Amino acid sequence: MPQPISPPDTSQDMHECLISVGSNIEPARHIAQVQKILDEECELIKASRSIRTAPVGLQEQPDFLNAALLVKTSLEREAFRAYLKQVEDRLGRVRGPVKSGPRTMDLDIIAWDGEVVDESYYRHDYVRHPVDEVLAGSGRQLHNRGCPSL
């Protein structure tokens, strides 16, 4: 059984990470829980409001709530991605054969230290709108904005 990744140690160099958040199983509760977890285990800088969106892919499922979070972490990007997957698991995420199926929590790194690392920011309004709200509210800007080739 894999060992859990420890929450970030705030005494080291810090990275800023923009995270896309999505849930369609008790979404309000799960988004509040992930904000609490990331605020306690990282440094939550800014959170967007949640927006309701229709599912993409598999249509026979409830609407999603989507949001974005800006956090600081001392972990490197791949270690932080693994940490986020563990947070999803802690919130009851079940990974099934249908990638676009219902979920308690989906956490994706969209930008790392101000650089876009996931092109879904350019392709999906449900990602871009909450991220842009966080950017505007935090005074941050992204590199590669408008340049979908990563």
What residues contact residue 117 under an 8 Å CB cut-off, 6+ apart? Answer: 77, 109, 110, 111, 150
Reply yes or no on whether 13 is catalytic. Answer: no
- The answer to whether residue 103 is catalytic is yes
Is residue 39 flagged as an active site residue? no
Whether 52 is catalytic is no
CA 141 to CA 36: how far, in whole Å?
A: 25
How long is the chain?
150
Q: Are 101 and 61 in contact (CB under 8 A)?
A: yes
Catalytic: which of 77, 89, 90, 108?
108
Known catalytic residues are 93, 103, 106, 108
